[in-house]
Amino acid sequence: MPLSPPLENDAQNLHQQTETTRREISSGLEEVLYQEFPVLDHGFVRVIDYMGNDNAIVQAARVSYGKGTKRKTEDRGLIHYLLRHSHTTPFEMCEIKFHIKMPLFVARQWLRHRTANVNEYSARYSIMDKEFYIPSPEHLAVQSSINRQGRGETLSPEYSRYVMDLLRDDAEQVYGHYEELLNEDGAGNIINPEKECLTRELARTNLSLNFYTQMYWKIDLHNLMHFLTLRADPHAQYEIRAYADVMIKLLEQWVPITYEAFLQYRKEGARLSKNAMDTVKKLLKGQGATQEESGMSKREWQEFTEMLDLPC
């Protein structure tokens, strides 16, 4: 939904203004504060507030007062150590607040993460704007034959055009009915000569899940990294992954040292089961290994061999 002019103007003005402060800041994040980063066809992510930086994590870990006398290289080593060994509390000392615009079906996935504070646009009080998500052809695919919640091969060009037209026509139709039920202009019609209007909380039930909503989402750094680990994964649904990819770039600007450790130990690292670790040890010793001997299921064995780029 397009932002109302006052809110959009506020965001632009806030992005341009500067203030003095006694607290430590993140210079990288200050540069993009309130800036809108487009996602999908009508969505966006913007940072509207934050607390803490890499130094705040170090201070919390050392329970020190002020910056201390440690060198930057030691700070980097400490942050890497904390994340490598899952010492999560110091990362909870940093928080960030986003303003996000996304399709309703993405929001429903998003809100499965219950470790944040959320305030979503209310269609009980306000009218939803006529903006809905239509996937581009390269993201239209058949149901995966091996993953019940994933996508397989892309659709043929002919069928893709048909699907896009169908989705667009359906969204146009339900929004037209939504406007008719609201009857905001008081025009009425032959069926509704009394010019009655249905309450907004009921009229919204006719809208489809590809319509856009907005929310403020505040989360600490530890739980943000958990969210990004799951939602930026190649197996995550493309639409929510597109938001996660933008937010990872903002993570880099906010806490660059923590970002390094996040890539190393979370996003591009891996966790191994005991059976998988035992198999790795055998392989390093030049011994053979099979799925039957490993104690792993066929699914786990496939994931294991793909992870290490081994022949199945």
- Specify if 171 maps to a domain: yes
173, pLDDT greater than 70: yes
User: SS3 string of 187-231?
Assistant: CCCCCCCCCCCCCHHHHHHHCCCCEEEEEEEEEEHHHHHHHHHHH
116 and 57 in a single domain? The answer is yes
Structure tokens at 163: 């699907």
Does the active-site annotation cover 62?
no
74, pLDDT greater than 90: no
197 and 299 in a single domain? The answer is no
If we measure between CA atoms, which residue out of 60, 42, 43 comes closest to residue 51? 60
- Specify if 18 maps to a domain: yes
115 and 243 in a single domain? The answer is yes
97 and 29 in a single domain? The answer is yes
- Specify if 134 maps to a domain: no
Look at residues 181, 206, 231 and tell me which one is the last residue of a structural domain.
Answer: 206
Question: What pLDDT does residue 141 have?
Answer: 87
- Structural domain containing residue 297: 274-307
152 and 229 in a single domain? The answer is no
92 and 41 in a single domain? The answer is yes
**Residue 213 CB neighbour total at 10 angstroms:** 22
State mean pLDDT over 153-173.
Answer: 93
pLDDT tens readout for residues 224-266 = 999 999 999 988 999 999 999 999 999 999 999 999 999 999 9
253 and 146 in a single domain? The answer is no
Please, which pLDDT band fits residue 183 given cuts at 50, 70 and 90? confident
219 and 202 in a single domain? The answer is no
239 and 103 in a single domain? The answer is yes
pLDDT tens readout for residues 138-157 = 999 888 777 666 777 888 99
- Specify if 17 maps to a domain: yes
- pTM given for the model: 0.87
- Specify if 56 maps to a domain: yes
260 and 194 in a single domain? The answer is no
Point out the catalytic residue in the list 231, 241, 271, 299. 231
- Specify if 312 maps to a domain: no
177 and 216 in a single domain? The answer is no
303 and 190 in a single domain? The answer is no
For the chain, what is the domain count? 3
User: SS3 string of the chain?
Assistant: CCCCHHHHHHHHHHHHCCCCCCCCCCHHHHHHCCCCEEECCCEEEEEEEEECCHHHHHHHHHCCCCCCCCCHHHHHHHHHHHHHCCCCHHHHHCEEEEEEEEEHHHHHHHCCCCCCEEEECCCCCCCCCCCECCCCHHHCEEECCCCCCCEEEECCHHHHHHHHHHHHHHHHHHHHHHHHHHCCCCCCCCCCCCCCCCCHHHHHHHCCCCEEEEEEEEEEHHHHHHHHHHHCCCCCCHHHHHHHHHHHHHHHHHCHHHHHHHHHHHHCCCCCCHHHHHHHHHHHCCCCCCHHHHCCCHHHHHHHHHHCCCCC
